[in-house]
Structure 1
Amino acid sequence: MLGAYPKKKNDDAVSGNRNFKAYLATLSLDYLVIVVTMLLFFTVLADWSYIMACLLIILTLLYIAVKRPGDSSLSFDEEPNSLRSYIMSYRIIVMIITFLCILAVDFKIFPRRYAKTETYGTSLMDLGVGAFVLANSLVSRQARNMTSVNLKSTIVSCSPLIILGFLRLVTTTGVDYQVHVSEYGVHWNFFFTLGAVSILTSIINVPPRYSGIFGLLVLVGYQFCLMNGLNHYLLSNDRGTDIISQNKEGIFSIFGYWGLYLLGVNLGNYLIFGSHTSGFRSNRWVRIRVWVLCVLFWLLTVLLDRHVERISRRMCNLPYVTLVVADNLQLISILMLADLVPGRKTSILEEAYNRNLLATFLLANILTGLVNLSIDTLSVSSFAALSVMLIYTYILSTVIGIADYFDIYSAKSQYVVHLAARLTSVIPATCRFRSYVSISLNGGDF
């Protein structure tokens, strides 16, 4: 009996080793299909992205035809409440795009048209800010109608954002790191904006079914002020000595992001957490609602951009807000087409990212900072830049996957996350997107 126990233990170890190897193999395959594909589209294949997208669509249609040989009609799987899985995939895509862009933007292989605009216009990185605000609001406590006005809890929940904002300000100033003043101002950064939006949303507690109307009123009032001279003030290079003038872009854009957040709360409550009569009716009608809302917001964006004011992320004006909503609803609409494809909808890598969003963000910032401190990113060749990006993304994906497999990122190890947060704060070269992600990490479990 005593001799049999070690043998059973060894058998379990061999079985676990095989399972782990299979997990790593699947994780690597997911990395190649998901992350590497997106990386190539954003860098060396950027000029052929439309052609490659068409090829992928054709391959997908062929796959559907092969998997449905006995059914000539395309039908959706009838899974109730599946919009939550779409939102999960949507947030993961936003995360992947973010950790790709925060490092790729420092290399020459990253097209400049994807970088942030100075005044008017849009780009991939311009949409990143609004995407994270919207991604958080869709699954927020406000959208679930789980909020209550409590000044103490509001201050406690917002204090990490404010602290991170001051830490970033101190560290960037201490090392004389170049900051684009025209983006948020002299002292302001997006952490302060996130904290302000959180405070306003908590103190002015609007029921989710009315938050859309209230958010629209905020946006219309803010746009009215912009068209009556505020836009010239925000876009001018003149700055006074007072704190408001020195941080005018960041302070006044709060109203735009707050309005966007309120719209997202209303959409989340209406589409995800609202009551429906049946699972099939919910799944079918929610899909139709998302598509209709996507078209309406795109039409509204075109009208506002042409007849009211051009889109500006810097001011977060009304056309920018409608663009963010339209673009993200379009992404969710495309993800909904996954029901046409039979089989598993979520990969192992996506599940690992979803369960470790905060760890993914922190590790991406640490690795990005290390790369920027180690090499001159603007002077390396395209091959070297792509190699660095592949190594960076593979390390990130593998570490997060292994951490998820062994459940390393648990409630008992939260102090590691806070330590990493401090480390990322003292690495100033974590690029342009480092502030944008935190809002999507506070939406709770989903």
Structure 2
Amino acid sequence: MAQSYKTLKEEFVSNLSGSSVSEVNYVTAIAPTAYLLWSALQSRHNFFDRYGPAAYLTDILLNAVAFLFATTLYSSHLLLLNTLLISPAIVLYFLPPAAAAHKKAVKPPPNNASKKDANGAEKLVQLPIRPFITAYRGAMIMSTCVAILAVDFRIFPRRFAKVETWGTSLMDMGVGSFVFSAGLVSARPILSAHLSSKTSSLGKSLRSSFRSSAPLLLLGLIRLYSVKGLDYAEHVTEYGVHWNFFFTLALLPPFVAIFQSFSAMLPYTALLSLFISSIYELLLDLTSLKAYILTAPRIDLLSQNREGVFSFLGYLAIFLAGQAIGFDVLPRNLRGRSTTSSNQQRRALLLRLATWTTAWSLLFYATTSFSFGLKLRVSRRMANLPYVFWVSAFNCAQITLFCITETVFFPGVYRAVEKEGERRESDRATSRVLYSLNRNGLAVFLLANLLTGLVNLTLDTLSMGRMAAMGTLIAYTSLFTAVAVALDRWNLSIKL
């Protein structure tokens, strides 16, 4: 009976064809529109300054449960759900702000970013906190954690699950976005070293990258032995017989360290991403590599894990594309604009983000169009060239939307002239739920994986009705979110 149920579970997530790019955009738009409403409530009414039960519940409903509803009950009414979030935000924006909104908050800000540094300096730092990046990354982690369990229930549409070989879906985008986001934040230590004129040798960089990769490698091994030991349902064509996503994440830092040592010029990162993904696509199209990945018998270690091994090249390109964006959005001043005003800097940043979005989108169109392009199809399984372009364009667009919201509702963030004022404004512009998810993102992702395994081992998710499924998913979403908020409240950062 157990074997039969395992087979049913594997068939439930296999041989799927996905949905359209536009539908993926509609469902993922819930994250920035929810943040839009959150921002309207906060900027016009200081709703989240006093972070009591009402504010906490509203924060979770907007920035976590709303996405869960988008992938379940409202999956066929995505425009309606987006409208329900956008409409009150627009009304709040044009209504006069509450009197309390004009007063300076006296309560200490909700996270640790507002503490003074050791020497008490008030000078603006060159790598400031970016609330819109925190919101983007927190929303990405939240949506990924929601989807990895929701996919096991029938209430989650099959078109949102990972496709078998060719096509686009919500979960295919989720995997790529996780890597892109990791690449974005990896730019911070490089920029910090660049600004302080400190250079690291290749050996030192590799040692540092291996230290950061070791926990991920360990998590990958734990997942491998857990899946095999518990006879857990698995979809072999995702990464292979033994490979899993943690192994992909673990291998990225060392390879990036090697490439980074070849060039100290930061602008070339995007070109390197384009070069790697293009060479990989040529190998797929001009050699037998594509056929090998899709059809080869699993007779040895390489062939058994061919999807994970070769798709790594695509994920490496995605990571580097994210790093290229990080080099632009994380510093206070864009390259070549250090003397311009804060307003001009923000306009230049928005223009740069729009340019990145347009460039990646045009490249995606050029490779996939059957009228004017190369007529290639997206494949998350191989992480091919269109997949790299799609993930890069999507994430640049998401970051742009979050940046626009911050610009409109919290101009004090980028207009601040001293350190404490900037930190105070940044705290006001940051959802505690999204900040907490971003702060311990990998730990929360690991917890979500453990909870997903526990639910699947104890409950028959395929037979659960709508009410029972929604109850389970809401409890699960509330739990991992509450743990993230609790870790932040206790000032704990779990580094994995």
Q: TM-score range by the shorter chain?
A: 0.7 to 0.9
Q: Which residue does 1:133 correspond to in 2?
A: 179
1:171 Cα deviation (Å)?
2.2
Match for 1:40: what amino acid?
Answer: F
Cα RMSD (Å) of the superposition?
Answer: 2.7
Match of 1:164 in 2: 219
Q: Tell me if the contact between 1:83 and 1:283 (Cα under 8 Å) persists in the aligned partners.
A: no
Change (3 A) 1:20 1:334: closer
Task: Please state if 1:100 is matched with 2:146.
Answer: yes
Shift of residue 221 of structure 1? 0.8
Which residue of 270, 284, 300 corresponds with 2:363?
300
How far apart in 1 are the matches of 2:356 and 2:134?
Answer: 19
CA contact (8 A) 2:134 2:430 kept: no
- 1:351 is displaced (CA, Å) by 2.6
**What is aligned with 2:454?**
370
1:217 to 251, 257, 275: 275
Give the 3 Å change call, closer, same or farther, for CA 181–379 of structure 1 in structure 2: same
Offset of residue 56 of structure 1: 2.6
Asked if structure 2 preserves the Cα contact closer than 8 Å seen for 1:297 and 1:322, the reply is yes
Which residue of structure 2 aligns with residue 173 of structure 1? 228
In structure 2, the residue matched to 1:341 is 409
Q: Which residue of 2 aligns with 1:428?
A: none
Task: Check 1:227–1:317 CA distance in 2 against 1; reply closer, same or farther (3 A cut).
Answer: same
- Report the Cα distance in structure 2 between the residues aligned to 1:356 and 1:240, rounded to whole angstroms: 37
**Contact 1:209/1:270 (<8 A) preserved:** no
Structure 2: distance between partners of 1:105 and 1:97? 12
Kept in 2, the 8 Å contact 1:183–1:250? The answer is yes
Distance change >3 Å, CA 288–CA 143, structure 1 → 2: farther
Cα drift, residue 235 of structure 1: 4.6
Conserved? CA contact 2:132–2:399, under 8 Å: yes
What corresponds to 1:397 in structure 2?
Answer: 481
Alignment of 1:25-424 (within 5 A): 25-67=54-96, 84-141=130-187, 143-144=190-191, 146=193, 148=200, 149-150=202-203, 151-204=206-259, 205=261, 206-207=263-264, 208-230=266-288, 232-273=290-331, 274-275=334-335, 276-277=337-338, 278=340, 279-306=342-369, 307-308=373-374, 309-338=376-405, 339-341=407-409, 344-407=428-491, 409=492
CA deviation vs aligned residue, 1:155-181 (integer Å, no higher than 9, x gap): 333222222222222222222323222
Is the Cα contact below 8 Å between 1:137 and 1:264 reproduced in 2? Answer: yes
Please tell me whether the aligned partners of residues 304 and 319 of structure 1 are also in contact (alpha carbons under 8 angstroms).
Answer: yes
Query: Separation in 2 of the partners of 1:25 and 1:317?
Result: 45
- Asked if the contact 1:143/1:268 (under 8 Å) is kept, the reply is no
Give the Cα–Cα distance (whole angstroms) in 1 for the partners of residues 214 and 482 of structure 2.
32
1:433-444 mapped onto 2 (5 Å cutoff): none
After TM superposition, give the deviation of residue 132 of structure 1 in Å: 1.1
Query: Relative contact order (alpha carbons < 8 A, sep ≥ 6): 1 or 2 greater?
Result: 1
8 Å CA contact 2:128, 2:330 repeated in 1: no
Alpha-carbon contact 1:99-1:364 (below 8 Å) kept: yes
Structure 1 runs not aligned, ≥5 long: 1-18, 70-79, 415-440
One-letter identity of the residue aligned with 1:242: D
Which deviates more, 389-398 or 349-358? 349-358
Q: Report the more deviating stretch, 118-127 or 364-373.
A: 364-373
* Cα distance change, pair 402–255 in 1 and its aligned pair in 2 (3 A): closer
Distance in 2, Cα, partners of 1:342 & 1:211: 31
SS at match of 2:70: helix
Confirm or deny: 8 A CA contact 2:167 2:378 kept in the other structure: yes
The offset of 1:41, in angstroms, is 1.0
Residues 270 and 320 of structure 2 are in contact (CA less than 8 Å); yes or no, is this contact kept in structure 1?
yes
Paired with 1:315 and 1:144, the residues of 2 have a C-alpha distance of: 31
Structure 1 residue 27 displacement after superposition: 1.2
Q: Deviations over 1:98-128 (max 9, x none)?
A: 1111111111111111100011111110011
Amino acid at match of 1:96: M
State the secondary structure of the residue aligned to 1:47. Answer: coil
Q: For the Cα contact (< 8 Å) 1:133–1:257, is it kept in 2?
A: yes
Tell me, which stretches of 5 or more residues in structure 2 are unaligned? Answer: 1-47, 99-125, 194-198, 412-427
Task: Report the Cα offset of residue 83 of structure 1.
Answer: 8.2
Percentage of identical aligned residues: 36
Aligned residue for 2:43? none
TM norm structure 1: 0.79
CA 1:62–1:25 in 2, change beyond 3 Å: closer, same or farther? closer
